[in-house]
Amino acid sequence: AHRVFSGVQPTGNLHLGNYLGAVKRFVEMQGRGAETLYCVVDLHAITVPQKPAELRGAIRELTAAFLACGLDPERSIIFNQSQVPAHAELAWLFNCVARIGWLNRMTQFKEKAGKDREGASVGLYAYPVLMAADILVYKATHVPVGEDQKQHLELARDIAAKFNLDFEAPDYFPQPEPMIEGPATRVMSLRDGTKKMSKSDPSDLSRINLTDDADAIALKIRKAQTDPEPLPETVDGLAGRPGADNLVGVYAALTDRTKADVVAEWAGKPFSAFKPALADLAVQKVAPIAGRMRDLLADPGHIDAVLANGAERASAIAEPVARGAYDLAGLLRTR
How far from 146 is each of 60, 96, 188, 196, 198, CA to CA, in Å? 23, 27, 11, 10, 11
Q: What is the C-alpha to C-alpha distance for residues 159 and 173, in angstroms, rounded to an integer?
A: 9
Alpha-carbon distance of 237 to 256, in angstroms, equals 21
Q: Which of 197, 286 has the CB closer to ligand ATP?
A: 197
One-letter identity of residue 251: Y
Catalytic pick from 139, 196, 259, 275? 196
Task: Please pick, among 24, 51, 110, 112, the residue that the annotation labels catalytic.
Answer: 112
Is 272 among the annotated ligand-binding positions?
no
Name which of 115 and 335 has its Cβ closer to ligand ATP.
Answer: 115
> Is 188 marked as binding a ligand?
no
Task: Single out the residue of 156, 145, 148 nearest to residue 178, CA to CA.
Answer: 145
Residue 326, burial from CB neighbour count under 10 angstroms (0-12, 13-18, 19+): middle
Beta bridge partner(s), residue 8: 40
CB of 168 to ligand ATP, least distance (A): 33
Q: Taking the complex as a whole, how short is the minimal distance between the CB of residue 86 and ligand ATP, in angstroms? A: 21
* Integer Cα distance of 282 and 328 in angstroms: 50
199 is an active site residue: yes
CB of 187 to ligand ATP, least distance (A): 4
Q: Provide the minimum distance between the beta carbon of 8 and ligand ATP in the complex, in angstroms, as a whole number.
A: 4
Region of residue 198 (phi > 0: left; psi between -120 and 50: alpha; otherwise: beta): beta
What does the binding site for ligand ATP look like in residue numbers (CB under 6 A)?
8-9, 11, 17-18, 21-22, 145-146, 148-149, 185-187, 196-200
Q: Is 259 a catalytic residue?
A: no
Q: Which residues are catalytic?
A: 112, 196, 199
| Residue positions forming the annotated binding site for ATP | 9-11, 17-18, 146-148, 187, 196-200
Binding site: what residues are annotated? Answer: 9-11, 17-18, 134, 146-148, 187, 196-200
